[in-house]
Amino acid sequence: MDSIQSLIKNLADQHGRKRESLLPIMQAIVEQENYLSEYSMVELAREVDIPAADVYGTATFYSFIETKPAGKYIIRICKTIACAMKGKNQVLFAIQDMLKIKLGETTPDKRFSLLESNCLGWCHKAPAMLINNEVYTELTPEKVREILADYMKKNGQN
């Protein structure tokens, strides 16, 4: 049994082998592996005993279930109206400059992925972004550079 297979088996033991457990299990796989590969989907389908097409259908519906390889830190910058009005683009340019990647890309060292997201619910403190589950608000290009520098330092220590 490879490591993904045993991860999925453990998660299925923990959450139960039923359809209602599908999303919690997929979320846990993404947490571990940074994304849900097709291989994981097929293994998950086998473990929960449902068609792989159903797993694929569910997985691809949700924007937080990554189905393409992603970095350890997924940056999601909010692009909805309040953030767009309050300078989200300048923040985005600063991130792109610093990480040398464009939207939808992952750094070659597989540390950072950069995505846009719809309303994150921080409109009164716009612009906002998530790095994994961590929230950052009232961003400016300077502020976001400092935040990323901290992550890069963390990166070096790992």
Most distant pair of Cα atoms in the chain: their distance: 51
Tokens of residue 57, six digits: 């259908």
Closest CA to 81 of 127, 130, 150: 127
The reply on whether position 125 binds other proteins by CB under 8 A is yes
* SS3 state at 5: helix
Residues 8-67 that bind other proteins (CB under 8 A): 18-24, 26-27, 54, 57-58, 61-65
Give 133 or 158: the residue with its C-beta nearer to other proteins. 133
Give 109 or 138: the residue with its C-beta nearer to other proteins. 138
**Cβ 155 to other proteins shortest distance, Å:** 21
Using CB under 8 A as the criterion, what x/- string covers residues 77-116 for binding other proteins? --xxxx-xx-------------------------------
DSSP symbol at 50: S
CB atoms closer than 10 angstroms to residue 137: 16
Task: Give φ, ψ of 135 to 5 degrees.
Answer: -100, 135
Residue in 1, 3, 108, 124 binding other proteins, rule: CB under 8 A: 124
Tokens of residue 72, six digits: 């350890």
- The contact set with other proteins (CB under 8 A) reads 18-24, 26-27, 54, 57-58, 61-65, 79-82, 84-85, 117-126, 130, 133-135
